[in-house]
Amino acid sequence: MTSPRKVLVAAHERRESEAVLDALARVGLAAERLLALHSGDGPADAPAALAAAAGLVLCGGADVDPRRYGEEPIPEARVSLQAGRDEMEWALVAGARERRLPVWGLCRGMQVVNVYLGGSLWQDMTLQRPGILAHHVSSPLDALLHRAEVSAAGRGTAMGEVLGREPAWVNSRHHQAVRRPAAGLVDVAASPDGIVEAQVLAGGEWWVESVEWHPENLMAMAQQRALAERFLAAVAAWEEST
């Protein structure tokens, strides 16, 4: 019997992937279909993982190296780097793009997708965008800090429809964020202070959806579960098409 294709969950260490694995299981993905890749355990064999994959989730965690979007780290920005994780996730996203595997980006994951496709980030929002709302409260994990307000462009997307069904209150624990959106990405929603909170890739040829918050900690909310369910539906559609 052929082994089921895996949904890859990329992070630096187990504590960053655990809630995501639990959330995917909660919306119906069987445990044997999940494969966590942790850069902290050593270099990952991205080609081998991708060969058996049907989807990719990029978890939250440390910062993307600013040199990947053409900037030097600003000393005052408190940038925390993990070169091995950047390398692993760049290889995974490249492989996912080649095979058109569905990609779901969460917090750092959204930033990775944006930078991979040619966008840039605020290295530190409070330093470079003074006066913004609080965007980093780490406890409790399901603390709702602000709304993600659907943009005019976002109203024409399926994710925008989900986020627009009712006020979308979200948790938040990040100090970096999208500064220049990559070409092809639609900014679906933003916080009231203008920070990009959700993106989708336009065109429909490659399913990519990302959010700047942590829906894996909000699975008690139907609206947040729907985001995970959309990803699993995209995985199922990809499998049916191959």
Residues annotated as catalytic (active site), given as ranges: 107, 214, 216
Task: Give the closest residue to 104 by CA, choosing from 229, 14, 222.
Answer: 229
Which pair of structure tokens corresponds to residue 135? 């965007």
- What is the CB neighbour count within 10 angstroms for residue 158? 12
Are 92 and 46 spatial neighbours (Cβ–Cβ below 8 Å)?
yes
E strands, the chain, are 6-11, 34-38, 53-58, 103-106, 120-122, 146-147, 149-150, 169-170, 177-180, 185-190, 196-201, 208-211
The C-alpha R_g of the chain, in whole angstroms, comes to 17
Q: For residue 47, is the peptide bond before it cis, meaning its omega torsion is within 30 degrees of 0?
A: no
Task: Give the closest residue to 11 by CA, choosing from 105, 114, 136, 96.
Answer: 105
Buried b (16+ CB within 10 A) or exposed e, 124-156: bbeebeeebeebeeeeeeeeebbbbbbbeebee
